[in-house]
A and B are shown apart, each in its own frame.
Chain A
Amino acid sequence: MRCLANLLVPAIMALSGGLVTLAQTPPYNVGRPATDQEIRAWDIAIGPEGEELPPGSGTSKEGAKIYAQRCASCHGPTAAEGKFIHGPLLGGRETLTTLYPLKTLGSYWPFATGIWDYIRRGMPPGGEGSLTTDEVYHLTAFLLYRNGIIKETDVLNEKNLPKIQMPNRNGFVPAKPEWKPGEKRPHGLYP
């Protein structure tokens, strides 16, 4: 059979490759500009530095009440229960090097912002997005307190949440995620 490779001529090729940033006018002018308001409404991703966190605050005590109402049926009354497909949210420290490692917020998660992000994004199942901003802060505070990371009376807000040092912050390799195309690895896998 014939194989014609690289017959590809152009239009797109010229655009491909490289990370050159372009300030020029858009090549095609298809799509419409997004407004700030639209972006705010959609931008629910919270990075490790918490820049996207909306103003608000919460405490563990308030969080305990919300947890009992909206979370305990799946995660168990104390959050230490592992029920069905939900692993426990607490405990597990010192288990990571055993045959039966237990990955929890306290033993595994490197950033507290991830907890806030995920509660707002995905909890509770079926009612995603129904929690208010403050409720998310409350629940985050509750889980951090139950994991022994903050005190029961600490008030969590958009400023101090990104600063919380999670116990397993340095438990990941490489320290800074990166990707090199074609990097050599044993058997194609990283140990």
Chain B
Amino acid sequence: MDAKQPGRRRFLKSGAALAGLAVSGIRPAAGQTPGASPDVVHKERAAYGQPSRFEAASRIPAGPNPGSRTPLQDVVGIIAANGLHFVQSSYSGDNIDPRKHRLLIHGMVHRPLIFSLEDLKRLPSVSRIHFVECTGNTSPVTPSLTTIRGGIGDGTGKGSEWIDELHQSVQQTHGKMGCAWYTGVLLSVLLREAGVKPEAGWLLLEGAEPGHLSRSIPLAKGMDDVLVAYGQNGEAIRPEQGYPFRTVVPGFEGNINIKWLRRVKVIDQPHMVKEEINNYTSLRLDGKARWFQLEMPVKSVITFPSSGQRLPGPGFYNITGLAWSGRGAIRKVEVSVDSGRTWKDAQLEDPVVRMAWTRFHFPWTWNGEATRVLSRSTDEQGDVQPTLAEFSKVWGVNLEYWRKTTNFVNHFNVIQPWKINGDGSVQNAMLG
């Protein structure tokens, strides 16, 4: 309050003294149009600044698991602010002292090596923008709900987390992802430093947190574009994102981007750790499970207008959203404003980068009638984002399956329809 007093006091003083004079136009009284003179605060010389107190954008819990989701409806551009980047892990990372933290590279190498953070910073570095998306982002069923809602096989049919919810916001449906500029050393540089032996075929990446989450990735990927990143959007990686360094495995499932990286073991075959079996496989109707899906599929979502928002009235609106693919660059995004009957190309905002968010824009004049708006992306591989019907066909199920099953399907990338009601309110219309 102290900070605000002088400004307000001054304002009242001068306002009274100058009432009626032309000069008072410099400081129109509060409530006058076209806008009141704001209060002022003494500028604190914050060594590290914070957002405006008027801003409410915040992450929300991502479900019963610790973690939180990015407010995609508030994100502008193609970067998720570090403070709003989704988190899907229980470990805070707060207590890892970078001076003590080490990275071990061993296994099928000629020279097992240990690197400190300072060592990594001496090596050739790169900065790249990439999305990281949770494998289960947008899935109608989450692993936890599988058990919470009758996953034991009680047949209650309470399978879907959101698919029958009209009011699920885009943060809730799609918020388990972020996109950031990462800076670090290419893993290939470290592997060459250690000297990979010919029989190697895979890598095991492991974190330093309790439980040491680990995942296996193909060596070919590790030699291609995997980063050991110590920078995120210009500053040190955040603790919850893996401080002091993490792997960024462009386009691969979020959980493979191991945080708090402490070890890379060069191996000849995958290690089949728990996460590779239980959490990140997709069980098909024939009882077989698809594993090591690795790449996130092509996907897009409209962030404005989206569920929970409201259009104040007919007129012009800039439809905007995000598209991305784990399999390369986005080539095309189409938008339909008539419930999927016709599609038109949206504008893609430069730069369009492989395995990064691509912002799209679509100018639209709303006539005030109820409709649905949808977006459909195509990536450089030619993969096209499917409708729920197309997705279901590939899986050999009917739409009811998604409402009822407790089988969580990862890599769920169907087109997201938002319903605009006549009163301007917007709802999730995934199922109708």
Contact surface of A with B, Cβ cutoff 8 Å: 1, 3, 11-12, 15-19, 21-24, 26-34, 38-39, 42-48, 82, 84-88, 92, 95-103, 108-111, 113-114, 117-118, 121-122, 125-126, 128-129, 171-174, 177-179, 181-182, 184-191
**Closest B residue, CB atoms, query A113:** B272
Contact check, A100 vs B188: say whether CB atoms are below 8 A apart: no
**Closest A residue, CB atoms, query B200:** A21
Contact check, A22 vs B262: say whether CB atoms are below 8 A apart: no
A179 and B195 alpha carbons, distance in the complex (Å): 22
Within 8 A of A (CB), among B90-131: 104-106, 110-115, 119, 122-124, 126
**Closest B residue, CB atoms, query A34:** B112
A129 and B208 alpha carbons, distance in the complex (Å): 12
> Quick one: given A31-B114, A87-B151, are A48 and B272 in contact (CB under 8 Å)?
yes
Instruction: Name which of B15-23, B53-61, B142-150, B308-316 contacts chain A.
Output: B142-150
A146 and B273 alpha carbons, distance in the complex (Å): 21
Contact check, B106 vs A43: say whether CB atoms are below 8 A apart: yes
Contact check, A98 vs B153: say whether CB atoms are below 8 A apart: yes
Residue in A30, A39, A129, A171 whose beta carbon sits within 8 Å of that of B287 in the complex: A171
> Quick one: given A84-B148, A188-B298, are A122 and B272 in contact (CB under 8 Å)?
no
Contact check, B112 vs A82: say whether CB atoms are below 8 A apart: no
> Quick one: given A33-B114, A96-B283, are A102 and B104 in contact (CB under 8 Å)?
no
Contact check, B383 vs A185: say whether CB atoms are below 8 A apart: yes
**Inter-chain contacts of B271 with A (CB < 8 A):** 45-48, 117
Contact check, B189 vs A15: say whether CB atoms are below 8 A apart: yes
**B149 CB to nearest A CB, Å:** 9
Contact check, A182 vs B272: say whether CB atoms are below 8 A apart: no
Residue in A33, A85, A98, A177 whose beta carbon sits within 8 Å of that of B291 in the complex: A177
**B411 CB to nearest A CB, Å:** 5
A22 and B157 alpha carbons, distance in the complex (Å): 56
Residue in B104, B106, B198 whose beta carbon sits within 8 Å of that of A21 in the complex: B198
**B345 CB to nearest A CB, Å:** 19
**A114 CB to nearest B CB, Å:** 5
22 inter-chain pairs at a CB distance below 8 angstroms, sorted by A residue, are: A1-B350, A3-B350, A16-B186, A16-B188, A19-B219, A22-B110, A22-B195, A23-B195, A27-B193, A31-B119, A86-B147, A100-B151, A100-B155, A108-B277, A111-B272, A117-B273, A128-B211, A128-B212, A171-B289, A181-B220, A187-B385, A191-B284
**B192 CB to nearest A CB, Å:** 6
**Inter-chain contacts of A18 with B (CB < 8 A):** 223
**Inter-chain contacts of A92 with B (CB < 8 A):** 153
A128 and B327 alpha carbons, distance in the complex (Å): 36
Residue in B150, B328, B413 whose beta carbon sits within 8 Å of that of A100 in the complex: B150
**A31 CB to nearest B CB, Å:** 4
Residue in A3, A21, A86, A110 whose beta carbon sits within 8 Å of that of B195 in the complex: A21
Query: Is the C-beta of B318 less than 8 angstroms from some C-beta in chain A?
Result: no
Within 8 A of A (CB), among B274-296: 274, 277-278, 281-295
Instruction: Name which of B68-76, B78-86, B237-245, B386-394 contacts chain A.
Output: B386-394
**Inter-chain contacts of B150 with A (CB < 8 A):** 100
Query: Is the C-beta of B194 less than 8 angstroms from some C-beta in chain A?
Result: yes
The 10 A-B pairs with the shortest beta carbon distances in the complex, nearest first, are A188-B297, A188-B383, A177-B292, A122-B211, A34-B112, A96-B287, A187-B386, A118-B274, A128-B210, A188-B298
**Inter-chain contacts of B382 with A (CB < 8 A):** 184
Contact check, B290 vs A191: say whether CB atoms are below 8 A apart: yes
Query: Is the C-beta of B361 less than 8 angstroms from some C-beta in chain A?
Result: no
Residue in A16, A101, A118, A188 whose beta carbon sits within 8 Å of that of B283 in the complex: A101
**Inter-chain contacts of A117 with B (CB < 8 A):** 271, 273-274
Query: Is the C-beta of B152 less than 8 angstroms from some C-beta in chain A?
Result: yes
**B412 CB to nearest A CB, Å:** 8
Contact check, A26 vs B272: say whether CB atoms are below 8 A apart: no
**Inter-chain contacts of B153 with A (CB < 8 A):** 92, 95, 98, 100, 102
> Quick one: given A85-B147, A173-B291, A187-B385, are A30 and B122 in contact (CB under 8 Å)?
yes
A178 and B278 alpha carbons, distance in the complex (Å): 18
**Inter-chain contacts of B395 with A (CB < 8 A):** 191
**B150 CB to nearest A CB, Å:** 6
Contact check, A19 vs B223: say whether CB atoms are below 8 A apart: yes
Instruction: Name which of B165-173, B334-342, B400-408, B416-424 contacts chain A.
Output: B400-408
Query: Is the C-beta of B65 less than 8 angstroms from some C-beta in chain A?
Result: yes
